[in-house]
Amino acid sequence: MLKYYTQMYFDDKQVVSDYEYDMLMRELKKIEAEYPDLIRKDSPTQKVGASIKKGFEKVTHEVPLQSLQDVFSFDEVREFDERMRKLAEENNIKLDYVVETKIDGLSAALEYENGVFVRGATRGDGLVGEDVTENLKTVKSIPKKLKEPINIIVRGEVFIGKEEFEKLNGDRLLDDGEQFANARNAAAGSLRQLDSKITAKRPLDIYIFNVQKSDSINFTTHYESLLYLEKLGFNVNPVKVLCDNIDDAIETIKKIGEDREKLSFGIDGAVVKVNNLELREKAGTTYKVPKWAVAYKYPPERKKTKLKEITCQVGRTGAITPMAILEPVVVAGSKISKTTLHNEDYIKQKDIRVGDTVIIQKAGDVIPEVVGVVKSKRTGEEKIYEMPKVCPVCGAQTIREEGESAWYCNGVECPAKLYRGIIHFASRDAMDITGLGGAIIDELIQRKLINNIADIYKLTFDDIASLKKNGKKFAQNLINSIEESKSRDLYRLVNALGIRHVGVKIAKSLTKTYDTMDKLMNASLESLCMKDEIGRIIAESIYNFFREEQTIDLINRLKEYGVNMEAQKEDNTDDRFYGKTFVLTGSLEKYTREQASQIIEKYGGRTSGTVSKKTSYVLAGESAGSKLTKAQNLGITIISEEQFAEMIK
**CA angle centred on 392, ends 386 and 394, rounded to 5°:** 140
**Cα–Cα separations (whole angstroms), residue 218 to 88, 139, 225, 292:** 21, 28, 9, 19
Alpha helices in 98-154 (DSSP H): 133-136
Return the closest-CA partner of residue 98 out of 294, 249, 263: 249
| 588-595 LR contacts (CB < 8 Å, sep 24+) | 588/619, 588/621, 588/641, 589/621, 589/622, 589/641, 590/641, 590/645, 591/641
DSSP symbols for 221-277: BHHHHHHHHHHHT--B-S-EEEESSHHHHHHHHHHHHHHGGGSSS-EEEEEEEE-BH
End-to-end Cα distance, the chain: 60
Asked if residue 444 lies in contact with residue 450, where contact means CB atoms within 8 angstroms, the answer is yes
**In terms of C-beta density within 10 A (0-12 exposed, 13-18 middle, 19 or more buried), how is residue 520 classed?**
buried
Amino acid at 327: E
Catalytic residue flag (residue 102): yes
SS (H, E, C) 298-358: CCCCEEEEEEEEEEEEECCCCEEEEEEEEEEEEECCEEEEEEECCCHHHHHHCCCEECCEE
Amino acid at 262: K
Backbone angles phi, psi at 449, to 5 degrees: -80, -20
Q: What is the b/e burial string over 278-300, where b = at least 16 CB atoms within 10 angstroms of the residue's CB?
A: ebbebbeeeebbbbbbbbbbbeb
- The DSSP symbol for 639 reads E
Partners of 361 in the β-ladder: 302, 369
Q: How far apart are CA 21 and CA 1, in angstroms?
A: 10
**CA angle centred on 577, ends 571 and 580, rounded to 5°:** 140
Return the closest-CA partner of residue 322 out of 304, 306, 340: 340
**In terms of C-beta density within 10 A (0-12 exposed, 13-18 middle, 19 or more buried), how is residue 376 classed?**
exposed
Which is the catalytic residue, given 102, 273, 297, 508?
Answer: 102
Asked if residue 165 lies in contact with residue 125, where contact means CB atoms within 8 angstroms, the answer is no
Asked if residue 344 lies in contact with residue 398, where contact means CB atoms within 8 angstroms, the answer is no
Sign of the dihedral through C-alpha 167, 169, 171, 173:
negative
**Cα–Cα separations (whole angstroms), residue 474 to 456, 477, 483:** 15, 5, 14
Catalytic residue positions?
A: 102
